């Protein structure tokens, strides 16, 4: 029996593979040809009983994480410590899996940063209780980042310049767009965005999540609405876009979409909020979008190219090139048994030469 194993890591490994306690018990029993009960898994995860060598071996075989994974002492952050841009109907099991996956990414990034210096966190913070108006805060962020008037050319670049790490994730569901983990553990804020959403929605999601980082230290009832207001103002500043939002049609919305790099539905919503179209016009335009099939998928020819994050790729590039890590080395520090899984996450594409340096 070992008292050094962190029970939270067993929960994290299990949930990241989409398994319930009963399913993990059954899978361990199958690979070891013995009976393991859900009660045993539950008691271990609650820290009520220790972890036997047989049980740990079974967890390793089922979850494909190295034994070293389960000795990590880092905190695991639940949904209450992170923000999600999700649909209300997202099942709890799916949300647990997403929380687990993003926590594991965070642990990987924390490991990568041990050998690298150069990420300076320069994210402004404006307390929503002090400033009240999310739109005002968005304007303050634009000023702090010296953004020019008009559309934001590459939002991801500005996020990464401020020290925020952006990760495109496969959430295995279209019911969640983004997740942010922003905790004081010497890790930069990390925005995880669903890589399967269109480029315009991806940008709005990034901006929504930025709103949480900039305005919200603690959850609140209005935080999602406030983050949407922040994102709308930062991507579509009232002073710049308002004159263009009168007399809207689908044809005009198409042109505005390409210029502002936001969805046509977001433009309609913005026009309504700024009083440039009436309630009747708003309903009519949404009906037009629905009739054309654009409420679920706007025209492919109007797709906004997805912005490519580079900061995490640079971290990997330093390890592989400057520090001479092998794929096996990389898999070891992120605790994967399967080197191919590590490659799938981090080595699909080569990164350009990083503007970061090795810790001496």
**pLDDT one-digit tens code per residue, 196-247:** 999 999 999 999 999 999 999 888 899 999 999 999 999 999 999 999 999 9
pLDDT: is 351 or 225 the higher one?
Answer: 225
User: pLDDT tens digits for 291-327?
Assistant: 998 988 899 999 999 999 999 999 999 999 999 999 9
3-class secondary structure, 308: coil
CA 25/CA 39 separation, integer angstroms: 9
The answer, yes or no, to whether residue 20 has pLDDT greater than 50, is yes
pLDDT: is 91 or 240 the higher one?
Answer: 240
The answer, yes or no, to whether residue 91 has pLDDT greater than 90, is no
Kindly give the residue spans of alpha helices, DSSP state H, lying in the chain: 7-16, 21-32, 38-45, 53-63, 92-112, 128-131, 134-144, 155-161, 199-215, 223-235, 238-241, 250-260, 264-273, 279-291, 311-317, 327-333, 339-346
For 285-321, b/e burial (b = at least 16 CB within 10 A) is bbebbeeeebeeebeeebebebbebbbbbbbbbbbbe
CB 103 within 8 A of CB 77: yes
Give which of 68, 81, 91, 49 is closest to 9, Cα–Cα: 68
Q: What is the arithmetic mean of pLDDT over 163-189?
A: 90
CB 198 within 8 A of CB 210: no
Residue 190, both tokens: 């990390």
Instruction: Check residue 352 and give its pLDDT.
Output: 38
pLDDT: is 186 or 15 the higher one?
Answer: 15
CB 359 within 8 A of CB 115: yes
CB 217 within 8 A of CB 128: no
CA 7/CA 137 separation, integer angstroms: 41
Residue 142, both tokens: 């634009």
The answer, yes or no, to whether residue 349 has pLDDT greater than 70, is no
3-class secondary structure, 138: helix
Q: Which of 95-99, 193-197, 217-221 has the lowest mean pLDDT?
A: 217-221
pTM of the model: 0.91
The answer, yes or no, to whether residue 354 has pLDDT greater than 80, is no
Q: What is the arithmetic mean of pLDDT over 238-260?
A: 97
CA 297/CA 91 separation, integer angstroms: 23
Instruction: Check residue 130 and give its pLDDT.
Output: 87
Burial zone of 70 (CB within 10 Å; 0-12 exposed, 13-18 middle, 19+ buried): buried
pLDDT tier for residue 117 given thresholds of 50, 70 and 90: confident
Give which of 190, 199, 196, 203 is closest to 232, Cα–Cα: 203
Residue 152, both tokens: 């934001």
3-class secondary structure, 77: coil
pLDDT tier for residue 69 given thresholds of 50, 70 and 90: very high
């Amino acid at each position: 029996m070992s008292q050094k194993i962190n029970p939270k890591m067993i929960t994290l490994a299990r949930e990241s593979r989409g398994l319930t306690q009963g399913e993990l018990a059954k899978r361990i029993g199958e690979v070891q040809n013995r009976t393991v009960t859900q009660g045993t898994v539950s008691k271990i995860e609650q820290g009520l009983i220790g972890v036997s060598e047989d049980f740990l071996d079974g967890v390793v075989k089922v979850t494909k994480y190295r034994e070293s994974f389960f000795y990590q002492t880092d905190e695991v952050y639940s949904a209450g410590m992170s923000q999600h841009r999700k649909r209300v109907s997202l099942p709890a099991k799916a949300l647990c899996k997403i929380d687990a996956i993003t926590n594991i990414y965070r642990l990987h990034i924390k490991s990568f940063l041990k050998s690298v210096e150069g990420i300076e966190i320069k994210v402004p913070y404006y307390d929503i209780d002090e400033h009240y108006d999310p739109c005002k805060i968005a304007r303050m962020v634009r000023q702090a980042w010296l953004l020019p008037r008009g559309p934001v050319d590459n939002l991801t670049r500005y996020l990464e310049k401020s020290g925020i790490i952006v990760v495109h994730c496969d959430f295995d569901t279209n019911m969640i767009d983004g997740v942010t983990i922003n905790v004081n553990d010497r890790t930069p804020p990390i925005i995880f965005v669903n890589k399967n959403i269109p480029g315009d929605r991806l940008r709005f999601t990034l901006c929504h999540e930025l709103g949480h980082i900039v305005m919200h230290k603690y959850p609140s009832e209005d935080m999602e609405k406030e983050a949407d207001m922040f994102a709308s103002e930062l991507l579509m500043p009232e002073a710049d876009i308002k004159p263009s939002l009168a007399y809207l049609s689908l044809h005009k919305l198409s042109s505005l979409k390409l210029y502002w790099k936001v969805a046509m539905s977001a433009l309609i919503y913005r026009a309504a909020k700024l009083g440039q179209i009436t309630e009747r016009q708003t309903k009519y335009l949404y009906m037009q979008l629905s009739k054309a099939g654009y409420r679920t998928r706007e025209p492919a020819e109007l797709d906004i190219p997805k912005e490519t994050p580079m900061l995490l790729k640079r971290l990997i590039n330093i390890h592989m090139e400057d520090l001479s890590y092998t794929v096996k080395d990389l898999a070891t520090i992120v605790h994967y048994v399967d080197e191919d899984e590590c490659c799938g996450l981090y080595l699909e594409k080569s990164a350009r030469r990083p503007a970061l340096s090795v810790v001496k």
